[in-house]
Homo-oligomer: A and B are copies of this chain.
Amino acid sequence: MSEAKEEKIVFQRPKALCDVVTHYCPGCLHGVVHRVIAEVIDDLGIQEITVGIAPVGCSVLAYNYIATDFAEAAHGRALAMATGMKRVHPELVVFTYQGDGDLAAIGTNELIHAATRGENITTIFINNAIYGMTGGQMAPTTLPGQVTTSTPTGRDTKLAGFPIRVCELVSTLEGSAYIVRRSAYNPSEIRKLKAAIKTAFQVQMAGLGYSLVEVVSNCPTNWGMTPLESLKWLQENMLAYYPLGDYKVKDSVKELMAKK
């Protein structure tokens, strides 16, 4: 009995994560990333000043899961929408949550320009190398040779071009302040992911410019794998093309991190 008394909960659903079942497929890392964002919101105590923007993609219903004010953007336009919000309400923490199709295909222009304007906005970018929502077509980040429903014989770079590396691209822009790539395939990567998202939000709150955390993610359903196979495939194939790491950490961000 004495032992039971001392029992503490050391892991549970964060406050900022709604207590509902998601629509995501079994093993889809969207769920993990949602939870990590909610944990950061809890940690920073910003639930009441945060506005999220959901994309068009599997995470279109993110607003049902992350318990802050939320808007749903047109496909690819989350960062334009976020700009409109943030410019009127600089006191809010505004983040977009976007897939590779949303951010790096139809939304590339909004990405590049929000970044170059140095908007104080944070993007969580889920790179699963595929269009999940629409049933598994090639994404801009689909790997060379990868089979999808629109590259039935594997992505042929001659016809379908090369994958886009978002972090590398956005880092070239002066307005971007904190651009990093993480993953979520094991607990230690998840820990690093959480730290990165926290930093990104802090960068925004300090007004240092645009921040983006890419998450190398999975899509067991459209990759045609079990969830565990998908994590293996992620590590063996995606990471080579999308190396994890920090792509841009402005000096002002380094200072901020040193202080915290």
Contacts from A to B (Cβ < 8 Å): 105-106, 108-109, 112-113, 116-119, 140, 157-158, 160-165, 168-169, 172-175
Contacts and interface: CB of A to CB of B under 8 A. Distances in A.
A137 to B, nearest CB: 15
Contacts of A106: 109
Identify the interface centre among A140, A161, A165: most chain B CB within 10 Å of its CB.
A161
Contact of A160 (B117, B172, B173): B117
Contacts of A118: 157-158, 161-162
Contact of A108 (B105, B112, B162, B163): B112
B169 A164 contact: no
A179 B59 CA distance: 36
Contact of A168 (B108, B165, B172): B172
A168 B20 CA distance: 45
Contact of A116 (B113, B140, B158, B175): B140
Contacts of A172: 165, 168-169, 172
A117 B165 CA distance: 13
A67 to B, nearest CB: 32
Contacts of A174: 157, 162-163
Nearest to A108: B109
A56 to B, nearest CB: 16
Given A106-B109, A108-B108, A117 B168 contact: no
Contacts of A113: 105, 108, 140, 161
Nearest to A117: B161
Nearest to A165: B172
A164 B116 contact: yes
